[in-house]
Amino acid sequence: MLDIKFVRENREKVEENIRKKFQDQKLPLVGEVIQLDEEYRTLKVKGDNLRQERNSVSNEIGTLMREGKREEAEERKKQVVEINDQLKDIEEKEESISRELKEKMMKIPNMIADDVPIGEDDSKNVEEARFGEPVVPDFEIPYHADIMASFNGLDKEAAGRVSGNGFYYLMGDVARVHSAVLAYARDFMINKGFTYCIPPFMIHSDAVDGVMSFEEKENMMYKIQGEDLYLIGTSEHSMIAKFKDQILKESDLPITMTSYSPCFRKEVGAHGIEERGIYRIHQFEKQEMVVLCKKEDSEEWYNKMWNYSVELFRSLDIPVRKLVCCSGDLADLKYRSCDIEAWSPRQKKYFEVCSCSNLTDAQARRLAIRYKKENGEKELVHTLNNTVIAPPRMLIAFFENNLCADGSVNIPVALRPYMGGIEKIFPKKDIH
RNA sequence: GGAGACAUACUCAAGAGGCUGAAGAGGCGCCCCUGCUAAGGGUGUAGGAUGGGCAACUGUCGCGAGGGUUCAAAUCCCUCUGUCUCCGCCA
Protein backbone atom coordinates (compact mmCIF):
# COMPACT_ATOMS: atom_id res chain seq x y z
CA MET A 1 0.00 0.00 0.00
CA LEU A 2 1.29 3.41 -0.97
CA ASP A 3 1.11 6.66 0.94
CA ILE A 4 -1.86 8.67 -0.28
CA LYS A 5 0.24 11.82 -0.17
CA PHE A 6 2.76 10.19 -2.45
CA VAL A 7 0.01 9.27 -4.90
CA ARG A 8 -1.32 12.82 -4.79
CA GLU A 9 2.06 14.30 -5.62
CA ASN A 10 3.36 11.65 -7.98
CA ARG A 11 0.40 10.63 -10.06
CA GLU A 12 2.45 10.03 -13.22
CA LYS A 13 5.00 7.88 -11.43
CA VAL A 14 2.31 5.75 -9.87
CA GLU A 15 0.61 5.26 -13.22
CA GLU A 16 3.89 4.49 -14.90
CA ASN A 17 4.56 1.88 -12.22
CA ILE A 18 1.20 0.23 -12.91
CA ARG A 19 1.99 0.12 -16.63
CA LYS A 20 5.36 -1.42 -15.92
CA LYS A 21 3.56 -4.20 -14.10
CA PHE A 22 1.16 -4.76 -17.01
CA GLN A 23 -1.85 -3.98 -14.84
CA ASP A 24 -3.35 -1.31 -17.09
CA GLN A 25 -6.82 -2.24 -15.84
CA LYS A 26 -5.81 -0.62 -12.56
CA LEU A 27 -4.88 2.74 -14.11
CA PRO A 28 -8.27 4.36 -13.42
CA LEU A 29 -7.79 3.62 -9.72
CA VAL A 30 -5.20 6.36 -9.43
CA GLY A 31 -7.52 9.16 -10.49
CA GLU A 32 -10.35 7.68 -8.45
CA VAL A 33 -8.20 7.53 -5.36
CA ILE A 34 -7.05 11.11 -5.75
CA GLN A 35 -10.61 12.29 -6.10
CA LEU A 36 -11.89 10.23 -3.18
CA ASP A 37 -9.10 11.60 -1.04
CA GLU A 38 -10.10 15.13 -2.01
CA GLU A 39 -13.74 14.44 -1.17
CA TYR A 40 -12.82 12.79 2.07
CA ARG A 41 -10.77 15.73 3.24
CA THR A 42 -13.46 18.23 2.39
CA LEU A 43 -15.97 16.12 4.24
CA LYS A 44 -13.68 15.76 7.21
CA VAL A 45 -13.28 19.50 7.57
CA LYS A 46 -17.04 19.90 7.47
CA GLY A 47 -17.54 17.13 10.00
CA ASP A 48 -14.78 18.41 12.24
CA ASN A 49 -16.36 21.84 12.35
CA LEU A 50 -19.74 20.43 13.30
CA ARG A 51 -18.20 18.20 15.93
CA GLN A 52 -16.36 21.18 17.33
CA GLU A 53 -19.62 23.07 17.62
CA ARG A 54 -21.31 20.12 19.27
CA ASN A 55 -18.51 19.81 21.78
CA SER A 56 -18.59 23.44 22.76
CA VAL A 57 -22.38 23.57 23.07
CA SER A 58 -22.37 20.38 25.12
CA ASN A 59 -19.84 21.98 27.38
CA GLU A 60 -22.07 24.98 27.84
CA ILE A 61 -24.89 22.68 28.82
CA GLY A 62 -22.69 21.26 31.52
CA THR A 63 -21.94 24.70 32.85
CA LEU A 64 -25.59 25.77 32.76
CA MET A 65 -26.69 22.62 34.54
CA ARG A 66 -24.23 23.24 37.31
CA GLU A 67 -25.54 26.76 37.67
CA GLY A 68 -29.06 25.38 37.73
CA LYS A 69 -30.14 27.18 34.58
CA ARG A 70 -32.37 24.38 33.39
CA GLU A 71 -34.27 26.15 30.72
CA GLU A 72 -31.26 27.57 28.94
CA ALA A 73 -29.73 24.15 29.01
CA GLU A 74 -32.79 22.63 27.39
CA GLU A 75 -32.55 25.24 24.68
CA ARG A 76 -28.96 24.22 23.95
CA LYS A 77 -29.85 20.56 23.92
CA LYS A 78 -32.10 21.20 20.97
CA GLN A 79 -29.18 22.81 19.17
CA VAL A 80 -27.02 19.76 19.69
CA VAL A 81 -29.74 17.47 18.43
CA GLU A 82 -29.88 19.57 15.30
CA ILE A 83 -26.12 19.40 14.84
CA ASN A 84 -26.23 15.66 15.30
CA ASP A 85 -28.84 15.40 12.59
CA GLN A 86 -26.57 17.17 10.14
CA LEU A 87 -23.60 15.15 11.28
CA LYS A 88 -25.26 11.81 10.78
CA ASP A 89 -25.30 12.16 7.03
CA ILE A 90 -21.74 13.50 6.85
CA GLU A 91 -20.35 10.82 9.09
CA GLU A 92 -21.92 8.07 7.06
CA LYS A 93 -20.37 9.49 3.93
CA GLU A 94 -17.03 9.99 5.64
CA GLU A 95 -17.01 6.34 6.58
CA SER A 96 -18.06 4.96 3.24
CA ILE A 97 -15.66 7.16 1.32
CA SER A 98 -12.72 6.34 3.52
CA ARG A 99 -13.53 2.64 3.21
CA GLU A 100 -13.74 2.90 -0.56
CA LEU A 101 -10.51 4.86 -0.61
CA LYS A 102 -8.71 2.25 1.44
CA GLU A 103 -10.00 -0.60 -0.70
CA LYS A 104 -8.74 1.10 -3.82
CA MET A 105 -5.44 2.04 -2.26
CA MET A 106 -4.89 -1.62 -1.38
CA LYS A 107 -5.21 -2.53 -5.02
CA ILE A 108 -2.58 -0.08 -6.22
CA PRO A 109 0.73 -1.94 -6.33
CA ASN A 110 3.82 -0.87 -4.45
CA MET A 111 6.40 1.08 -6.42
CA ILE A 112 8.97 -1.27 -7.89
CA ALA A 113 12.72 -0.67 -7.97
CA ASP A 114 14.03 1.19 -11.02
CA ASP A 115 16.21 -1.69 -12.09
CA VAL A 116 13.55 -4.41 -12.00
CA PRO A 117 13.45 -6.01 -15.45
CA ILE A 118 10.25 -5.24 -17.30
CA GLY A 119 8.23 -8.24 -18.36
CA GLU A 120 4.72 -9.55 -18.33
CA ASP A 121 5.13 -12.83 -16.50
CA ASP A 122 7.65 -15.25 -15.01
CA SER A 123 8.92 -16.23 -18.46
CA LYS A 124 10.64 -12.82 -18.51
CA ASN A 125 12.47 -13.32 -15.25
CA VAL A 126 16.17 -12.79 -15.67
CA GLU A 127 18.94 -15.12 -14.63
CA GLU A 128 21.58 -12.96 -13.05
CA ALA A 129 24.17 -15.34 -11.71
CA ARG A 130 24.98 -19.00 -11.26
CA PHE A 131 26.72 -20.50 -8.29
CA GLY A 132 28.25 -23.93 -8.70
CA GLU A 133 28.44 -26.11 -11.79
CA PRO A 134 25.11 -27.55 -12.89
CA VAL A 135 26.38 -31.08 -13.26
CA VAL A 136 24.54 -33.72 -15.22
CA PRO A 137 25.89 -37.07 -14.08
CA ASP A 138 26.42 -39.91 -16.54
CA PHE A 139 23.74 -42.03 -14.92
CA GLU A 140 20.05 -41.34 -14.94
CA ILE A 141 18.60 -39.45 -11.97
CA PRO A 142 15.22 -40.90 -11.04
CA TYR A 143 12.19 -38.89 -10.01
CA HIS A 144 12.67 -37.60 -6.47
CA ALA A 145 9.79 -39.61 -5.05
CA ASP A 146 11.41 -42.76 -6.45
CA ILE A 147 14.77 -41.93 -4.89
CA MET A 148 13.06 -41.43 -1.55
CA ALA A 149 11.11 -44.64 -2.03
CA SER A 150 14.39 -46.53 -2.44
CA PHE A 151 15.18 -45.51 1.13
CA ASN A 152 11.71 -46.55 2.27
CA GLY A 153 11.52 -42.88 3.04
CA LEU A 154 8.26 -41.70 1.54
CA ASP A 155 4.74 -43.03 1.89
CA LYS A 156 2.22 -40.95 0.05
CA GLU A 157 -0.20 -43.79 -0.27
CA ALA A 158 -0.75 -44.13 3.45
CA ALA A 159 -0.85 -40.34 3.79
CA GLY A 160 -3.54 -40.35 1.14
CA ARG A 161 -5.63 -42.83 3.12
CA VAL A 162 -5.14 -40.96 6.36
CA SER A 163 -5.21 -37.32 5.26
CA GLY A 164 -5.96 -37.29 1.56
CA ASN A 165 -4.00 -36.09 -1.41
CA GLY A 166 -1.26 -33.56 -0.75
CA PHE A 167 0.26 -35.08 2.39
CA TYR A 168 3.20 -37.36 3.00
CA TYR A 169 4.79 -39.61 5.53
CA LEU A 170 8.55 -39.18 5.60
CA MET A 171 10.27 -42.24 7.07
CA GLY A 172 13.66 -43.30 8.31
CA ASP A 173 16.70 -41.66 6.75
CA VAL A 174 14.65 -39.32 4.62
CA ALA A 175 12.83 -38.00 7.67
CA ARG A 176 16.16 -37.71 9.41
CA VAL A 177 17.65 -35.69 6.58
CA HIS A 178 14.54 -33.51 6.70
CA SER A 179 15.11 -32.70 10.36
CA ALA A 180 18.85 -32.37 9.88
CA VAL A 181 18.43 -29.86 7.09
CA LEU A 182 16.09 -27.77 9.23
CA ALA A 183 18.42 -27.87 12.21
CA TYR A 184 21.36 -26.99 9.99
CA ALA A 185 19.47 -24.09 8.45
CA ARG A 186 18.46 -22.87 11.90
CA ASP A 187 22.05 -22.84 13.13
CA PHE A 188 23.27 -21.33 9.87
CA MET A 189 21.02 -18.32 10.43
CA ILE A 190 21.77 -18.11 14.15
CA ASN A 191 25.43 -17.86 13.15
CA LYS A 192 24.50 -14.93 10.90
CA GLY A 193 23.16 -13.16 13.97
CA PHE A 194 19.47 -13.90 13.46
CA THR A 195 17.21 -14.67 16.40
CA TYR A 196 15.62 -18.07 16.31
CA CYS A 197 11.82 -17.92 16.76
CA ILE A 198 8.99 -20.36 17.00
CA PRO A 199 5.77 -18.51 16.33
CA PRO A 200 2.13 -19.46 16.78
CA PHE A 201 0.98 -21.74 13.99
CA MET A 202 -2.56 -20.45 14.15
CA ILE A 203 -3.52 -16.78 14.01
CA HIS A 204 -6.65 -14.62 14.30
CA SER A 205 -8.42 -13.34 11.23
CA ASP A 206 -7.39 -9.73 11.83
CA ALA A 207 -3.76 -10.78 11.74
CA VAL A 208 -4.42 -12.69 8.53
CA ASP A 209 -6.01 -9.64 6.94
CA GLY A 210 -3.03 -7.55 7.92
CA VAL A 211 -0.49 -9.66 6.10
CA MET A 212 -2.17 -10.82 2.91
CA SER A 213 -4.71 -9.98 0.27
CA PHE A 214 -8.21 -11.37 0.18
CA GLU A 215 -7.40 -13.61 -2.79
CA GLU A 216 -4.39 -15.05 -1.04
CA LYS A 217 -6.48 -15.76 2.03
CA GLU A 218 -9.10 -17.58 -0.02
CA ASN A 219 -6.56 -19.64 -1.93
CA MET A 220 -4.16 -20.45 0.84
CA MET A 221 -5.51 -20.35 4.35
CA TYR A 222 -7.16 -23.18 6.28
CA LYS A 223 -9.72 -22.01 8.81
CA ILE A 224 -10.36 -23.79 12.08
CA GLN A 225 -14.04 -24.51 12.34
CA GLY A 226 -15.86 -22.70 15.10
CA GLU A 227 -12.83 -20.64 16.11
CA ASP A 228 -11.43 -17.36 14.95
CA LEU A 229 -8.21 -19.11 13.94
CA TYR A 230 -6.39 -19.84 10.72
CA LEU A 231 -3.45 -22.18 10.14
CA ILE A 232 -0.51 -20.14 8.94
CA GLY A 233 0.76 -20.55 5.39
CA THR A 234 4.24 -19.42 6.38
CA SER A 235 5.80 -18.19 9.59
CA GLU A 236 6.19 -14.79 7.93
CA HIS A 237 2.49 -14.32 8.71
CA SER A 238 2.98 -14.72 12.45
CA MET A 239 6.30 -12.94 12.51
CA ILE A 240 5.15 -9.80 10.73
CA ALA A 241 1.80 -9.66 12.52
CA LYS A 242 3.78 -9.73 15.76
CA PHE A 243 4.66 -6.08 15.14
CA LYS A 244 1.23 -4.83 14.11
CA ASP A 245 0.53 -1.34 15.52
CA GLN A 246 3.88 -1.22 17.28
CA ILE A 247 6.21 1.74 17.55
CA LEU A 248 9.70 0.34 17.81
CA LYS A 249 12.74 2.00 19.28
CA GLU A 250 15.42 3.01 16.82
CA SER A 251 17.85 0.90 18.80
CA ASP A 252 15.65 -2.17 18.24
CA LEU A 253 16.44 -2.10 14.52
CA PRO A 254 17.29 -4.06 12.56
CA ILE A 255 15.19 -6.92 13.85
CA THR A 256 16.56 -10.07 12.26
CA MET A 257 14.67 -13.25 12.91
CA THR A 258 14.73 -16.78 11.63
CA SER A 259 11.52 -18.57 12.34
CA TYR A 260 10.53 -22.19 12.06
CA SER A 261 7.02 -23.38 11.42
CA PRO A 262 4.96 -25.91 9.61
CA CYS A 263 3.13 -24.27 6.73
CA PHE A 264 -0.38 -25.15 5.67
CA ARG A 265 -1.66 -24.28 2.22
CA LYS A 266 -4.84 -25.09 0.42
CA GLU A 267 -3.09 -24.46 -2.91
CA VAL A 268 -6.35 -23.59 -4.58
CA GLY A 269 -5.84 -22.08 -8.00
CA ALA A 270 -3.56 -22.39 -10.97
CA HIS A 271 -1.11 -25.06 -9.84
CA GLY A 272 -2.94 -27.43 -7.56
CA ILE A 273 -1.01 -29.92 -5.54
CA GLU A 274 1.35 -32.42 -7.00
CA GLU A 275 0.02 -35.96 -7.46
CA ARG A 276 3.14 -38.00 -7.00
CA GLY A 277 5.99 -36.09 -5.46
CA ILE A 278 6.42 -33.63 -2.67
CA TYR A 279 7.01 -30.48 -4.71
CA ARG A 280 3.70 -28.90 -3.84
CA ILE A 281 1.74 -30.17 -0.87
CA HIS A 282 -0.76 -29.03 1.76
CA GLN A 283 1.64 -29.21 4.67
CA PHE A 284 5.36 -28.67 4.83
CA GLU A 285 7.91 -27.21 7.17
CA LYS A 286 9.99 -24.15 6.62
CA GLN A 287 12.76 -22.12 8.14
CA GLU A 288 12.24 -18.49 7.22
CA MET A 289 14.22 -15.27 7.61
CA VAL A 290 12.43 -12.03 8.32
CA VAL A 291 13.99 -8.59 8.70
CA LEU A 292 12.53 -5.29 9.86
CA CYS A 293 14.89 -2.39 9.32
CA LYS A 294 15.21 1.32 8.60
CA LYS A 295 14.39 2.33 5.09
CA GLU A 296 17.94 3.32 4.29
CA ASP A 297 19.12 -0.19 5.15
CA SER A 298 16.64 -2.37 3.32
CA GLU A 299 18.50 -2.73 0.04
CA GLU A 300 21.61 -3.81 1.85
CA TRP A 301 19.60 -6.39 3.79
CA TYR A 302 18.00 -7.65 0.62
CA ASN A 303 21.41 -8.39 -0.84
CA LYS A 304 22.63 -10.01 2.33
CA MET A 305 19.54 -12.18 2.52
CA TRP A 306 19.59 -13.70 -0.94
CA ASN A 307 23.30 -14.27 -0.55
CA TYR A 308 22.65 -16.25 2.64
CA SER A 309 20.45 -18.58 0.58
CA VAL A 310 23.16 -19.06 -1.99
CA GLU A 311 25.74 -19.71 0.67
CA LEU A 312 23.53 -22.21 2.44
CA PHE A 313 22.73 -24.23 -0.66
CA ARG A 314 26.32 -24.18 -1.79
CA SER A 315 27.38 -25.51 1.58
CA LEU A 316 25.20 -28.53 0.83
CA ASP A 317 26.78 -29.02 -2.60
CA ILE A 318 23.70 -27.91 -4.47
CA PRO A 319 24.23 -25.66 -7.54
CA VAL A 320 21.92 -22.66 -7.61
CA ARG A 321 21.18 -19.58 -9.63
CA LYS A 322 19.69 -16.20 -8.86
CA LEU A 323 16.65 -15.37 -10.92
CA VAL A 324 15.46 -11.79 -10.75
CA CYS A 325 11.68 -11.46 -10.84
CA CYS A 326 10.43 -9.19 -13.58
CA SER A 327 7.86 -6.44 -13.06
CA GLY A 328 4.85 -8.53 -14.03
CA ASP A 329 5.84 -11.42 -11.78
CA LEU A 330 6.20 -9.25 -8.67
CA ALA A 331 3.39 -9.50 -6.15
CA ASP A 332 1.76 -6.13 -5.54
CA LEU A 333 3.42 -5.46 -2.21
CA LYS A 334 6.93 -6.11 -3.46
CA TYR A 335 9.56 -3.55 -4.37
CA ARG A 336 11.86 -6.22 -5.70
CA SER A 337 12.16 -9.93 -5.42
CA CYS A 338 14.34 -12.76 -6.62
CA ASP A 339 14.18 -16.53 -6.53
CA ILE A 340 17.06 -18.72 -5.64
CA GLU A 341 16.64 -21.78 -7.79
CA ALA A 342 18.30 -25.13 -7.21
CA TRP A 343 19.66 -27.27 -9.98
CA SER A 344 17.76 -30.39 -10.89
CA PRO A 345 20.07 -32.82 -12.68
CA ARG A 346 17.06 -34.94 -13.57
CA GLN A 347 15.07 -32.18 -15.28
CA LYS A 348 18.26 -30.41 -16.36
CA LYS A 349 16.88 -27.11 -15.22
CA TYR A 350 16.64 -24.99 -12.13
CA PHE A 351 13.57 -24.87 -9.86
CA GLU A 352 12.52 -22.45 -7.15
CA VAL A 353 13.64 -23.16 -3.61
CA CYS A 354 13.84 -19.68 -2.05
CA SER A 355 12.06 -16.44 -2.64
CA CYS A 356 13.62 -13.25 -1.32
CA SER A 357 11.67 -10.00 -1.24
CA ASN A 358 12.00 -6.41 -0.17
CA LEU A 359 8.51 -5.03 0.49
CA THR A 360 9.83 -1.60 1.49
CA ASP A 361 7.13 0.07 3.62
CA ALA A 362 4.11 -1.48 1.90
CA GLN A 363 3.47 -4.09 4.57
CA ALA A 364 4.49 -1.75 7.38
CA ARG A 365 2.01 0.92 6.26
CA ARG A 366 -0.78 -1.61 6.19
CA LEU A 367 0.10 -2.86 9.65
CA ALA A 368 1.31 0.44 11.14
CA ILE A 369 4.75 -0.83 12.07
CA ARG A 370 6.87 2.22 12.82
CA TYR A 371 9.93 3.24 14.73
CA LYS A 372 10.71 6.41 16.57
CA LYS A 373 13.75 8.28 15.43
CA GLU A 374 16.04 10.12 17.76
CA ASN A 375 14.44 13.44 16.82
CA GLY A 376 11.06 12.01 17.82
CA GLU A 377 9.78 11.53 14.28
CA LYS A 378 8.06 8.29 13.51
CA GLU A 379 8.84 6.40 10.37
CA LEU A 380 7.58 3.19 8.82
CA VAL A 381 10.01 0.30 8.86
CA HIS A 382 10.91 -1.72 5.82
CA THR A 383 10.14 -5.42 5.85
CA LEU A 384 11.92 -8.21 4.03
CA ASN A 385 11.57 -11.94 3.96
CA ASN A 386 13.33 -14.89 2.44
CA THR A 387 13.15 -18.62 2.64
CA VAL A 388 16.05 -20.18 4.48
CA ILE A 389 14.96 -23.66 3.65
CA ALA A 390 11.71 -25.44 2.91
CA PRO A 391 12.63 -29.08 3.43
CA PRO A 392 10.37 -30.92 0.98
CA ARG A 393 11.56 -28.83 -1.92
CA MET A 394 15.05 -28.71 -0.59
CA LEU A 395 15.01 -32.50 -0.24
CA ILE A 396 14.27 -32.83 -3.94
CA ALA A 397 17.37 -30.81 -4.74
CA PHE A 398 19.32 -32.56 -2.05
CA PHE A 399 18.58 -36.12 -3.15
CA GLU A 400 18.99 -35.40 -6.84
CA ASN A 401 22.30 -33.60 -6.45
CA ASN A 402 23.88 -35.90 -3.91
CA LEU A 403 22.78 -39.18 -5.45
CA CYS A 404 25.53 -41.60 -6.44
CA ALA A 405 25.45 -44.13 -9.27
CA ASP A 406 24.98 -46.98 -6.78
CA GLY A 407 21.84 -45.41 -5.37
CA SER A 408 23.43 -44.14 -2.15
CA VAL A 409 23.27 -40.49 -1.20
CA ASN A 410 26.20 -38.45 0.10
CA ILE A 411 25.73 -36.42 3.22
CA PRO A 412 27.59 -33.14 2.73
CA VAL A 413 30.15 -32.36 5.40
CA ALA A 414 28.14 -29.45 6.80
CA LEU A 415 25.16 -31.68 7.46
CA ARG A 416 26.97 -34.58 9.08
CA PRO A 417 26.87 -33.27 12.64
CA TYR A 418 23.08 -33.29 12.32
CA MET A 419 23.08 -36.85 10.93
CA GLY A 420 25.01 -38.53 13.68
CA GLY A 421 28.27 -38.12 11.79
CA ILE A 422 27.43 -40.45 8.91
CA GLU A 423 28.80 -39.70 5.44
CA LYS A 424 26.34 -41.58 3.30
CA ILE A 425 22.94 -43.15 3.46
CA PHE A 426 22.19 -46.35 1.61
CA PRO A 427 19.05 -47.45 -0.17
CA LYS A 428 16.92 -50.11 1.42
CA LYS A 429 15.78 -51.42 -1.93
CA ASP A 430 16.42 -50.95 -5.64
CA ILE A 431 14.50 -48.44 -7.62
CA HIS A 432 12.08 -50.42 -9.83
C1' G B 1 -13.56 -25.92 30.19
C1' G B 2 -15.43 -23.43 35.19
C1' A B 3 -15.01 -19.01 38.72
C1' G B 4 -13.21 -14.28 39.68
C1' A B 5 -10.28 -9.76 38.78
C1' C B 6 -8.32 -6.49 35.35
C1' A B 7 -7.20 -3.58 30.43
C1' U B 8 -5.83 4.46 30.90
C1' A B 9 0.29 7.73 27.45
C1' C B 10 7.37 4.99 27.11
C1' U B 11 6.34 2.69 32.32
C1' C B 12 3.60 2.65 36.98
C1' A B 13 -0.81 4.90 38.22
C1' A B 14 -5.41 8.52 39.68
C1' G B 15 -10.01 8.67 37.74
C1' A B 16 -17.35 6.29 39.16
C1' G B 17 -21.52 11.18 33.28
C1' G B 18 -19.82 17.66 31.84
C1' C B 19 -14.78 21.68 35.16
C1' U B 20 -10.20 15.34 32.20
C1' G B 21 -6.47 14.47 26.62
C1' A B 22 -6.28 12.70 31.19
C1' A B 23 -3.89 14.26 38.51
C1' G B 24 0.61 12.10 40.48
C1' A B 25 5.15 9.61 39.86
C1' G B 26 8.98 7.28 37.26
C1' G B 27 11.33 8.56 32.75
C1' C B 28 13.54 12.46 29.82
C1' G B 29 16.21 17.79 29.40
C1' C B 30 18.96 21.52 31.99
C1' C B 31 21.20 23.35 36.64
C1' C B 32 23.22 22.54 41.73
C1' C B 33 25.64 19.28 45.25
C1' U B 34 29.10 15.14 45.74
C1' G B 35 36.72 13.44 44.21
C1' C B 36 33.98 9.37 41.05
C1' U B 37 29.64 6.27 41.42
C1' A B 38 25.17 5.52 44.04
C1' A B 39 21.95 8.84 46.29
C1' G B 40 20.01 13.97 46.90
C1' G B 41 18.13 19.12 45.69
C1' G B 42 16.19 22.69 42.08
C1' U B 43 13.91 23.53 37.51
C1' G B 44 11.80 22.50 32.78
C1' U B 45 9.32 19.20 29.36
C1' A B 46 6.61 15.77 26.65
C1' G B 47 2.99 12.44 25.02
C1' G B 48 -1.08 8.34 19.89
C1' A B 49 -3.71 9.08 14.91
C1' U B 50 -5.26 12.54 11.41
C1' G B 51 -7.24 17.26 8.95
C1' G B 52 -6.87 22.65 7.85
C1' G B 53 -3.15 26.73 7.46
C1' C B 54 2.80 29.54 3.90
C1' A B 55 3.32 29.98 9.02
C1' A B 56 2.28 31.33 14.07
C1' C B 57 -1.39 28.24 15.12
C1' U B 58 -5.68 25.39 15.23
C1' G B 59 -9.59 21.49 14.79
C1' U B 60 -11.26 16.36 15.06
C1' C B 61 -10.72 11.37 16.71
C1' G B 62 -8.49 8.88 20.75
C1' C B 63 -8.49 5.58 27.83
C1' G B 64 -7.86 -2.95 24.81
C1' A B 65 -11.44 -3.46 19.98
C1' G B 66 -16.38 -2.86 18.06
C1' G B 67 -21.34 -1.36 18.94
C1' G B 68 -25.21 1.18 22.08
C1' U B 69 -27.55 4.78 25.75
C1' U B 70 -27.08 10.35 26.38
C1' C B 71 -27.32 17.12 24.65
C1' A B 72 -22.56 15.06 26.70
C1' A B 73 -18.99 8.62 27.95
C1' A B 74 -12.34 6.72 30.18
C1' U B 75 -16.73 6.69 33.46
C1' C B 76 -23.30 3.45 32.21
C1' C B 77 -25.01 -1.04 28.96
C1' C B 78 -23.91 -5.07 25.25
C1' U B 79 -20.43 -8.07 22.26
C1' C B 80 -15.53 -9.49 21.30
C1' U B 81 -10.20 -9.93 22.35
C1' G B 82 -6.28 -10.19 25.68
C1' U B 83 -3.85 -10.52 30.65
C1' C B 84 -3.62 -12.28 35.74
C1' U B 85 -5.30 -15.57 39.93
C1' C B 86 -7.77 -20.04 41.54
C1' C B 87 -9.96 -24.79 40.03
C1' G B 88 -10.31 -28.61 36.32
C1' C B 89 -7.94 -31.16 32.17
C1' C B 90 -3.79 -32.39 29.98
C1' A B 91 1.99 -32.73 26.60
Residue-wise pLDDT for A226-263, tens only, equals 788 899 999 998 999 888 888 888 888 899 999 999 99
Nucleotide nearest to A204 (CA to C1'): B81
| Predicted-complex ipTM score | 0.81
**Same structural domain for residues A55 and A148?**
no
Average pLDDT over residues A110-129: 94
CB atoms near residue A427 (< 10 Å): 19
A373-395: buried (b, 16+ CB within 10 Å) or exposed (e) per residue?
eeeeeeebbbbbbbbbbbbbbbb
Asked if the structure places residue A432 within a domain, the reply is: no
> What is the pTM for the complete model shown?
0.89
**Same structural domain for residues A179 and A316?**
yes
Asked if the structure places residue A112 within a domain, the reply is: no
Asked if the structure places residue A39 within a domain, the reply is: yes
At which of A43, A75, A107 does a domain end? Answer: A107
pLDDT at A422 over 60: yes
Query: What's chain A's average pLDDT?
Result: 90
pLDDT value for A62: 85
**Same structural domain for residues A131 and A173?**
yes
Asked if the structure places residue A179 within a domain, the reply is: yes
Task: Out of A15-19, A145-149, A227-231, pick the least confident.
Answer: A227-231
Q: Which nucleotides of B are covered by protein (CB under 7 A)?
A: 10, 18-19, 48-52, 59-61, 71-72, 80-82
Average pLDDT over residues A177-205: 94
Asked if the structure places residue A430 within a domain, the reply is: no
**Same structural domain for residues A93 and A138?**
no
Residue A163 approaches strand B within 7 Å at CB: no
| Distance, CA of A56 to C1' of B15, in Å | 23
Asked if the structure places residue A194 within a domain, the reply is: yes
Residue A80 approaches strand B within 7 Å at CB: yes
Number of domains in chain A: 2
pLDDT value for A365: 87
Domain that holds residue A246: 122-425
| Distance, CA of A374 to C1' of B41, in Å | 29
At which of A54, A84, A107 does a domain end? Answer: A107
Residue A144 approaches strand B within 7 Å at CB: no
**Same structural domain for residues A401 and A259?**
yes
Average pLDDT over residues A339-346: 95
pLDDT in tens, A232-241: 999 998 999 8
Could you tell me if A139 and A405 are in contact, meaning their C-beta atoms sit under 8 angstroms apart? yes
Task: Out of A26-40, A86-100, A316-330, pick the least confident.
Answer: A86-100
**Same structural domain for residues A313 and A376?**
yes
CATH number at residue A32: 1.10.287.40
At which of A75, A107, A139 does a domain end? Answer: A107
Average pLDDT over residues A319-333: 94
**Same structural domain for residues A54 and A163?**
no
A228 vs A127, more confident = A127
The confidence band for A285, taking pLDDT boundaries of 50, 70 and 90, is very high
ω into residue A345 within 30 of 0, thus cis?
no
**Same structural domain for residues A133 and A227?**
yes
Average pLDDT over residues A129-149: 93
Average pLDDT over residues A308-315: 96
- Please name which of A151, A208, A139, A206 lies closest in space to residue A175, comparing C-alpha atoms: A151
pLDDT at A74 over 90: no
* DSSP symbol at A377: -
The confidence band for A430, taking pLDDT boundaries of 50, 70 and 90, is low
**Same structural domain for residues A200 and A233?**
yes
Asked if the structure places residue A311 within a domain, the reply is: yes
**Same structural domain for residues A163 and A84?**
no
**Same structural domain for residues A267 and A152?**
yes
Residue A57 approaches strand B within 7 Å at CB: yes
pLDDT value for A82: 87
Conformational region of residue A237, where left means phi above 0, alpha means psi within -120 to 50, and beta covers everything else: alpha
**Same structural domain for residues A192 and A286?**
yes
CATH number at residue A173: 3.30.930.10
Asked if the structure places residue A117 within a domain, the reply is: no
